[in-house]
Amino acid sequence: MNPNPPHTPPQPPTQTEINDFCSAAKMGYGDKVSSYLDRYGELIINERDNVRDTALTWAAWMGHADICRLLIERGAAVDALGMTDRSALGWAARGGRQEAARVLLEAGADINLKDAEGNSPLQIASDANRQELVMLMNDVSQRRAEDLRAKKERTMVCPSCCGARPN
């Protein structure tokens, strides 16, 4: 007889639990968010609540940078779309949530991802006159473009017959 019973996969969270998880992120209750993540992990991290938002979109909208960081570290999809097909960065931009936006940008959030209304986070920040956020996003965009150029230069192959990489 096997002393170790077979591992049974965890049951998925109920919609009520998903709603509670997203509400905890919205309210900034890090311990409660962590508890749900410990219990359900990837089964809950990117789920949508009853208004179609994720925990990350709520945390970003409310400016809970620490919750955004926790969710991203635990595997939240940084560009997952919430209500009105707006990303967490779009919600942070709309709310003027500088630190939450910084966390999302550091995790690689797409500055140009358009929502259902056709607006990117950069456009949302600009329209809402969030000048610090616009500057932050422009700086990140410029840095990303420079990094991409440098990467292309490192991988460029000499067009001559030798195929050598330039120095």
35 pLDDT higher than 80: yes
Q: What is the pLDDT of residue 160?
A: 58
Q: What pLDDT shows up at residue 133? A: 96
Rounded Cα distance between 152 and 31, Å, is 43
* C-alpha torsion 128→131→134→136, nearest 10: -140
The DSSP call for residue 87 is B
Spell 60-76 as b/e; 16+ CB within 10 A means b. bbbbbbebbbbbbebeb
Model confidence over 110-144: pLDDT tens digits? 999 999 999 999 999 999 999 999 999 999 999 99
Q: Could you give the CA distance from residue 156 to residue 150 in angstroms, rounded to a whole number? A: 10
Beta-carbon contacts of 2 under 8 Å, excluding residues fewer than 6 positions away, are none
Tokens 């056709």 locate to: 118
Nearest to 72 by CA among 98, 23, 33: 33
Q: Which amino acid does the sequence have at 129?
A: N
At 160, which amino acid appears?
Answer: S
Domains and CATH numbers, the chain: 15-155 (1.25.40.20)
Judging by beta carbons within 10 Å of its beta carbon (0-12, 13-18, 19+), is residue 27 exposed, middle or buried? middle
- For the ranges 9-13, 45-49, 70-74, the lowest mean pLDDT is seen at 9-13
How far is the CA of 164 from the CAs of 62, 75, 152, 167, in angstroms?
A: 52, 40, 15, 9
- What tens digit of pLDDT does each residue of 65-112 get? 999 999 999 999 999 998 889 999 999 999 999 999 999 999 999 999
- Going by pLDDT thresholds of 50, 70 and 90, the confidence category of residue 151 is confident
pTM, two decimal places: 0.84
Res 83: pLDDT: 86
Q: Would you state the pLDDT for residue 10?
A: 75
7 has pLDDT over 80? no
Provide the pLDDT for residue 154.
77
Quick one: pLDDT at residue 5? 57
Contact call for residues 56 and 86 (beta carbons, < 8 A) = no
pLDDT band at 24; cut points 50, 70, 90: very high
